[in-house]
Amino acid sequence: MKICIGMSGGVDSSVAAYLLKKEGYEVIALFMRNWDSALNNDILGNPNINNNICPQEQDYNDALKVCKQLDIPLFRVDFIKEYWDNVFSYFLNELKLGRTPNPDLMCNKYIKFDLFKKEAKKLGCDMIATGHYARNINNHLFKGIDQNKDQSYFLAQISKKQLENVLFPVGSLTKEEVRNIAKNLNLETALKKDSTGICFIGERNYQNFIQNYLKPNPGNIIDIETRKVIGKHKGLMNYTIGQRRNVGISGYDKRHYVVGKNSIKNELYVAFGDDSKYLFSDECIIDNINFISEKRPEKCSAKFRYRGEDYPVTLKYINDNEIKVSYNNVKAVTPGQACVLYDDQECLGSGIIKEVKKNNKKVWYIN
């Protein structure tokens, strides 16, 4: 079997490539370049703007060195326009609505498990593989063994069809085991730090970065208890529900949290105290429903953000594209984020949080 590994220039895909070759596959690697800072006007908030080499090219060089070590051919493809059209435009449109999008899910749906898969087929491959910490068991998606690194959350918008002929070689390993394999092989990426920030873009000063694409629209910060103006925000797109740092107010004894937005009045609502009632909700409506599993349970568990807890939930199927998710007093459930559904270790699918309610009333968020 000929298999194409998505080679990112990181340690996970490097070890995944080694494991595939060790198992006897004919392995080729494909590096995707999905972001061009110059072409995409990525200037403000970009810490790498004056570097001699951009991070994407450094990643490619690292991938090239690993492939030479493993004797694997490396190919390269640009999906810059496709990433902008399908992922980054979605990201910006959601921000304009005052929501908090997760572009990683759309990147997997439209780039890694669609365009990448098609490119691998052009190269004569029967299967693809990635360095995700997840498991594919009979075309059902399961959490990775390493619960601290599990990335099934980010895969929850791909279809069951997209999961066919896909391997996750490091999904049954811990991160420590992956690092040790890379060290023992003396791979170029063995000690390389994990990539962080926006998918394929990287670390940015978020508020400055967004100004490259969306004009700031300052407005009032409101104490939700007193309804008094206590500060000025820099544009609603810069804030998310539950945010505590970089809100723009100071001089208060109690810690403060963002608890809501009003896009019509351009107001940001803040509450004080770690256990403010305004931080909690008991149900949400999710849309953009995507099921990977055939299961349609009435009760299961859900994650409302990556690395968040698994909460027991009850599902009411409103129609083919909306589900009411009920739960008991969960903190900072946020419109625009993914609600990912699980049956123990199996990822059933996901939806995007459309609105949040408490006591059957829409709360904190108006657009």
For the stretch 172-181, pLDDT in tens is: 999 999 999 9
Output the domain CATH number for residue 361.
Answer: 2.40.30.10
Q: Which residue has the tokens 């109690």?
A: 254
Task: Please tell me the distance from the alpha carbon of residue 338 to that of residue 111, in angstroms, as a whole number.
Answer: 18
Contact (Cβ atoms closer than 8 angstroms) between residue 265 and residue 247: no
What pLDDT, on a 0 to 100 scale, did the predictor assign at position 364?
65
C-alpha 124/C-alpha 137 separation (Å) is: 24
Answer yes or no: do 161 and 36 share one domain: yes
Q: Are residues 44 and 183 in the same domain?
A: yes
Query: Residue 332: which domain range?
Result: 279-366
120 and 155 both lie in a single domain: yes
The answer to whether 339 and 325 are in contact (CB under 8 A) is yes
At 274 the pLDDT is: 86
21 shares its domain with 164:
yes
Strand segments, DSSP code E, in 165-291 are: 166-167, 219-223, 229-233, 256-262, 267-272, 280-291
- Shared domain for 15 and 125, answered yes or no, is yes
Q: Domain holding 178: CATH number?
A: 3.40.50.620
Using CA atoms, how far apart are residues 108 and 83, in angstroms rounded to an integer? 11
pLDDT of residue 52: 79
| Predicted pLDDT at 117 | 97
Work out the average pLDDT over 362-367: 65
Report the number of distinct structural domains present in the chain: 3
CATH number of the domain enclosing 237: 2.30.30.280
What is residue 51's predicted lDDT score, i.e. its pLDDT?
Answer: 80
Asked which of 206, 237, 254 is the last residue of a domain, the reply is 206
Average pLDDT, the chain: 94
pLDDT value for 78? 96
Confidence of residue 55 (pLDDT cuts 50, 70, 90): confident
Q: 40 and 99: one domain?
A: yes
> Which residues are within 8 A (CB) of 190 and not within 5 positions of it... i.e. 6 or more apart?
11, 179, 182, 183
pLDDT above 80 (res 365): no
Residue 147 has pLDDT above 90, yes or no: yes
- Claim to verify: residue 27 and residue 96 sit in the same structural domain: yes
Q: Are residues 284 and 136 in the same domain?
A: no
CA 62 to chain centre: 23
Percentage of the chain beyond pLDDT 70 is 99
Residue ending a domain, choose from 185, 206, 227: 206
199 and 88 within one domain: yes
What residues pair up with 219 in beta bridges, in sequence order?
Answer: 233
So what's the pLDDT on residue 48? 85
What region, left, alpha or beta, does residue 332 occupy, with left being phi > 0 and alpha being psi -120 to 50 degrees?
left
pLDDT at 53: 83
Q: What does the alpha-carbon distance between residue 248 and residue 258 come to, in Å, rounded to a whole number? A: 11
Q: How far is CA 290 from CA 139, 315, 320, in A?
A: 15, 14, 10
Query: Does 80 have pLDDT greater than 60?
Result: yes
Q: pLDDT category, 366, cuts 50, 70, 90?
A: low
Pair (196, 264) in one structural domain: no
Q: What angle do CA 96, 99, 100 make, to 5 degrees?
A: 115
Confidence of residue 314 (pLDDT cuts 50, 70, 90): very high
What distance lies between CA 333 and its chain's CA centroid? 16
Q: What is the pLDDT of residue 250?
A: 83
Over the stretch 206-238, which tens digit does the pLDDT of each residue have? 889 999 999 989 999 999 999 999 999 999 999
Dihedral of alpha carbons 341, 356, 211, 110, sign: positive
pLDDT (tens digit, 9 = 90+) per residue, 110-143? 999 999 999 999 999 999 999 999 999 999 999 9
The catalytic residues are: 107, 199
Q: Which residues pair with 136 in a beta bridge?
A: 141
Q: Are strands 322-331 and 140-143 parallel, antiparallel or unpaired?
A: unpaired
- Per-residue pLDDT of 10-50, as tens digits, reads 999 999 999 999 999 999 999 999 999 989 999 999 888 88
Q: What pTM value is reported for the model?
A: 0.94
**The domain boundary residue, chosen from 182, 206, 230:** 206
Report the alpha-carbon angle 330-336-342, nearest 5.
55
Residue type for 154, please? F
Confidence check: pLDDT of 367 > 60: no
Instruction: Indicate whether 163 and 249 sit together in one domain.
Output: no
Per-residue confidence band for 83, with pLDDT thresholds at 50, 70 and 90: very high
Q: What is the full DSSP assignment across 30-71? A: EEEE---TTTTT--TT-TTTT-SS-HHHHHHHHHHHHHHHHT
Residues 295, 194 share a domain: no
